[in-house]
Amino acid sequence: MTTELIVAGFGGQGVLLFGKFLALSGLKEEKEVVWIPSYGPEMRGGTCNCTVVVSDDPIGSPIIDAPNTVVVMNKPSLTKFGPRVSSDGLLLINSSLIDTTSDRTDIKIETVPANEIALELGNGRAANMVALGAYIALTKAVKFDTVLDVIRESFAKKKEFIDLNLAAAKRGYELAS
Amino acid sequence: MSKVVFKRPKALADVVTHYCPGCSHGIVHRIVAECIDELGIQERTVGVAPVGCSVLAYNYFNVDFFEASHGRAPAVATGAKRARPDLIVFAYQGDGDLASIGMAEIVHACNRGEKFTVIFINNTVYGMTGGQMAPTTMPGQVTTTSPYGRDVNQIGWPIRMCELLSSLKTDGFIARTSAHSPAEIIKTKKAIKKAFELQVANRCFTFVEVLSTCPTNWGMMPIQAQKRIEEELLPYYPLGVFKSPNGDASKS
Amino acid sequence: MAKVLMKGNEALAEAAIMAGCKLFFGYPITPQNEIPEYLSRRLPQVDGGCYLQAESEVAAANMLYGAAGVGERVLTSSSGPGISLMSEGLSYIAGAQLPVVVVNMVRGGPGLGGILPAQSDYYQATRGLGHGDFRVLVLAPSTVQEAADLVMDAFDLADKYRSPVMVLGDGLIGQMMEPVEFKKKEKVELPPKTWAATGYKGDRERSIINSLYLDPLELEENSWRLKARYDAMGRDELRWELTNCEGDYDVLITAYGSTARICKTVIETLKKQGISVGLFRPITLFPYPYKQLRDAAQKAKTVFCVEMSTGQMLDDVKLALEGSRPTQFYGRTGGIIPTPDEIIGQIEKILKGEEVDKR
Ligand SMILES: Cc1ncc(C[n+]2csc(CCOP(=O)(O)OP(=O)(O)O)c2C)c(N)n1
Ligand code: SF4
Ligand SMILES: [Mg+2]
């Protein structure tokens, strides 16, 4: 199986971390992984995205024209990456910040109110982890338990964030399961 | 009947800049454009953009422009001004551009008394490339390439360009101002206007350093960044006129 | 050691430390900033380690000259405009026969160009790094793991040949994260650095680090001495990789670095359609594996060169083939990365006997 992902949003929404946690989870499961950030002038403008591939086979091109999954955390990202999801692919929309959807009929479209849930849990910045939880439930790209381990390990130095991020990922996962 | 009291200077292009919220570059751009308007020199002004966050300055001014290589703007400006002394030429440079890689060009342009104007944006970091240490970075300041804080025993003290340039014997106008408060912004405008006036009068090399904010790479909110200038930078980088062609200098 | 997920730039930097590199001199430039940033954190933790941000790439190259001249392992990294500024220093370093390692994360040019990945500095790296009769050994990784491995080898090769070695990546290799394992290398037997300027105690000839030869015969001698080393590299250090070249194929792709891995996806995709295409990936770009490419091309009707440039390695491909096979070229540049689909479209044209698009 090969999961290709583009996750996009404003700088500061934690989309690079979303991608990195997926890649780290893939690595933990001994899969092939690659993660590439957008870099360049657009970063000053505030939008940001990364591409992740998790695969059972060696990864050739790390540049994915039409990924089979896309997660958009803000509206400009929906406009930019919505059209690029491959046929039969998945588009996951952060409905807290995006009040529209895609008119494509050849893909699966799901929504998650990531910011609202994160705020309920006490910190809007965990929206990325809510979305990650939902994403794992929808794609099964890696095991959810692996993601939880990655969250625990990655925040090992900032213990106060562990519970919040675990809770956020779990809520997202449950909501989308 | 209502009266227009505030409008975009003619010399400033009607576009959205790429600068981050709270960045001083936009303020200084506006000041330079106002001066160009007020002196009526738009049609004969040529700017030289550096490599740094203001690399796209050529999109933001309604005047002809060069884009120079990193640090070499004073050399490009020298070529243009020597070839066409009737042009009003200004170089706009950051602290990495001017005080690091371009140190030789600025010192020699100043020493030759090149009759153009340099606007020097000192924000104590390399903004464009993601906040690395600059020659102007403050002692102890943490940047992406001084993760343990700038250690003056290893890399020396921040370079004070106004002081350094005003030690040269050649005539010049050299001033340091700041963009951290409305009052200082008004003084910045005065200094920049003076610099352009002296160039129009074909008097001397003119140089205005503006202490500037980079909230993004300082990891601060804009207001905090303005405070940092006031509290941390001003004690080390005194404001004032360091040198002027009639020989008078006034430091705060 | 377990695999860790790292950016290419950071993996390169860590690999340099593992190879015994003690000093780094450089100047920030995108897309390689993570190398100096990483080393500014790591080198102070290393015994005798020194990280110094130079005032310019001109200065950095000469700091390299100084550190290599006293016999230490030293690294710099840069891109496009920065490498251009280093070229004077690198020419002196080559002339004085000093070992240094230079990482070049290529971005689009000429001039200020852009900051996105490109392969448009192939000529500069393999032919035009500075004035005079000199070359540098150029290694081109296509994965993060390979980047780390090649950096470790680069230090040994530099010492062995007393020559600058360049690791030529691009923005993609530098920015992407992949799993990497830092393998402890076997120690390579290297000649002692008796030529280093470490203080004259009367027990050897004085060490003069120098590239000035006013006597033309001596200067000629130096140039031929360098040439002999390049010939030895061409004999002993060639590296290349063949993919899908066991069976038959009408088209042989040649590509290096990032572009080569994109072409691997092309090969896998075409395989599923029953079309077999081979890939020849040079890893040493200077010296170039000419004969190996010519051999691999024997089964092919056409050799198809794909680059992120307007056609630079293509010259070496033609030199390799000596007219024995027709070549076709497809290039994207300026920071645009060709997609597998784009390349497949061109291969379909070749198979139909049509000319490919230039871009
Ligand atoms: C020869 C060369 N070296 C390095 C760079 C990369 N570079 C681009 S902008 C910049 C620093 C700019 O910092 P500064 O002059 O302080 O301007 P700021 O962005 O802070 O306004 C550097 C190092 C380059 N373009 N060319
Ligand atoms: S990075 Fe700093 S200098 Fe550059 S635009 Fe943003 S605030 Fe201004
Ligand atoms: Mg700066």
Q: Which two tokens stand for residue B65?
A: 């422009």
Give the number of other Cβ atoms within 10 Å of residue A140's Cβ: 11
pLDDT tens digits, one per residue of C198-221: 999 999 999 999 999 999 999 999
CA–centroid distance for C111 within its chain: 21
Residue B133 in contact with ligand 1 by CB distance below 6 A: no
Q: Quick one: average pLDDT of C79-85?
A: 98
E strand residue ranges, chain B: 45-49, 64-67, 88-94, 117-122, 125-126, 132-133, 172-178, 205-211, 240-243, 250-251
Distance set, CA C35 to CA A135, A170, C86 (Å):
33, 36, 17
Residue B145: name the closest of C7, C8, C26 by CA: C26
For residue B93, the CA-to-ligand 1 centroid distance in Å is 10
Cα separation, B109 vs B115, in Å, equals 9
Distance from C40 to chain B by nearest Cα, in Å? 5
Burial class (CB in 10 A: 0-12, 13-18, 19+), C299: middle
Confidence tier at A159 by pLDDT (50, 70, 90): confident
Cα atoms in the Cβ-side hemisphere of radius 13 Å centred on B94: 31
The type of residue at A17 is L
CA–centroid distance for C154 within its chain: 9
- Among B237-251, C84-98, C99-113, C316-330, which is the least confidently predicted range? B237-251
What is the pTM for the complete model shown? 0.95
Q: Which two tokens stand for residue C357?
A: 């698009």
Using the Cβ of C178 and the Cβ atoms of chain A, whether some distance falls under 8 Å is answered with yes
pLDDT given for residue A42 in this prediction: 52
Distance from B18 to chain A by nearest Cα, in Å? 6
pLDDT tens digits, one per residue of B34-89: 999 999 999 999 999 999 999 999 999 999 999 999 999 999 999 999 999 999 99
pLDDT given for residue A116 in this prediction: 97
pLDDT given for residue C255 in this prediction: 98
pLDDT given for residue C358 in this prediction: 75
C-beta of residue A110 within 8 angstroms of C-beta of residue A93: yes
Query: How many Å from the N-terminal Cα to the C-terminal Cα in chain B?
Result: 43
Cα atoms in the Cβ-side hemisphere of radius 13 Å centred on C340: 19
* Percent of all residues in chain A with a pLDDT value above 70, rounded to a whole number: 96
- Structural domains of chain C, with CATH: 4-236 (3.40.50.970), 241-351 (3.40.50.920)
Give the number of other Cβ atoms within 10 Å of residue C77's Cβ: 31
Give every residue of chain B whose pLDDT is below 50, as ranges: none
Nearest CA in chain A to B55: A41
Inter-chain CB proximity C36 and B129 less than 8 Å: no
Inter-chain CB proximity C81 and B145 less than 8 Å: no
Q: Three-class SS of residue A128?
A: helix
Partners of B146 on chain C (C-beta within 8 Å) are 40
Residue B51 in contact with ligand 1 by CB distance below 6 A: yes
Partners of A44 on chain B (C-beta within 8 Å) are 18-20, 53
pLDDT tens digits, one per residue of C27-69: 999 999 999 999 999 999 999 999 999 999 999 999 999 999 9
Confidence tier at C186 by pLDDT (50, 70, 90): confident
pLDDT tens digits, one per residue of C315-359: 999 999 999 999 999 999 999 999 999 999 999 999 999 999 877
Cα separation, A28 vs C254, in Å, equals 34
Q: What is the CATH number of domain B25-243?
A: 3.40.50.970
Cα separation, A133 vs A151, in Å, equals 11
Compare C116 and A42 and report the one with higher pLDDT: C116
Does residue A40 surpass a pLDDT of 90?
no
Q: Is the peptide bond before A83 cis (omega within 30 degrees of 0)?
A: no
Q: What is the side-by-side order of every strand in the sheet holding B88-94?
A: B64-67, B45-49, B88-94, B117-122, B205-211, B172-178, B240-243, B250-251
Query: Is the sign of the CA dihedral C185, C186, C192, C195 positive or negative?
Result: negative
For residue B164, the CA-to-ligand 2 centroid distance in Å is 26
Does residue C295 surpass a pLDDT of 60?
yes
pLDDT given for residue B248 in this prediction: 59
Confidence tier at A47 by pLDDT (50, 70, 90): confident
Residue C338: name the closest of C315, C356, C318, C320 by CA: C356
The ranges assigned to domains in chain B are 25-243
Residue C269: name the closest of A104, A106, A66 by CA: A66
Inter-chain CB proximity C112 and B144 less than 8 Å: no
* Residues recorded for chain A: 177
pLDDT tens digits, one per residue of A5-29: 999 999 889 999 999 999 999 999 9
What ligand has the least distance to the C-alpha of C27?
1
Distance from A159 to chain C by nearest Cα, in Å? 22
Residue B76 in contact with ligand 2 by CB distance below 6 A: no
| Partner-chain residue, chosen from A20, A39, A62, that has the shortest CB–CB distance to C31 | A39
Partners of C172 on chain A (C-beta within 8 Å) are 36, 62-63
Angle at which helix C216-236 crosses helix C144-161, to 10 degrees, equals: 140
Residue B127 in contact with ligand 2 by CB distance below 6 A: yes
Classify domain A2-176 at the CATH superfamily level: Pyruvate-ferredoxin oxidoreductase, PFOR, domain III (3.40.920.10)
Inter-chain CB proximity B20 and A44 less than 8 Å: yes
Interface residues of A toward C, Cβ cutoff 8 Å, are 20, 23-24, 27, 32-37, 39-41, 58-63, 65
pLDDT given for residue A41 in this prediction: 60
Complex-level ipTM beyond the 0.85 threshold:
yes
pLDDT tens digits, one per residue of A118-155: 999 999 999 999 999 999 999 999 999 999 999 999 99
The type of residue at C45 is Q
CA–centroid distance for B80 within its chain: 19
Burial class (CB in 10 A: 0-12, 13-18, 19+), C354: exposed
Using the Cβ of C257 and the Cβ atoms of chain A, whether some distance falls under 8 Å is answered with no
Q: Which helix (H) or strand (E) holds B34?
A: helix B24-39
CA–centroid distance for C31 within its chain: 16
Residue B123 in contact with ligand 1 by CB distance below 6 A: yes
DSSP assignments along A3-37, one per residue? EEEEEEEETTS-HHHHHHHHHHHHHHTT-EEEEEE
Residue C56 in contact with ligand 1 by CB distance below 6 A: no
- Share the mean pLDDT of chain A: 94
Q: How many CB pairs under 8 A join A and C?
A: 65
Partners of C5 on chain A (C-beta within 8 Å) are 20, 23-24, 27, 33, 35
pLDDT given for residue B250 in this prediction: 64
pLDDT given for residue A12 in this prediction: 85
Q: Quick one: average pLDDT of C244-266?
A: 97
Residues 185-244 of chain C whose Cβ lies under 8 A from any Cβ of chain A = none
Inter-chain CB proximity C37 and B69 less than 8 Å: no
Using the Cβ of B18 and the Cβ atoms of chain A, whether some distance falls under 8 Å is answered with yes
Inter-chain CB proximity C261 and A60 less than 8 Å: yes
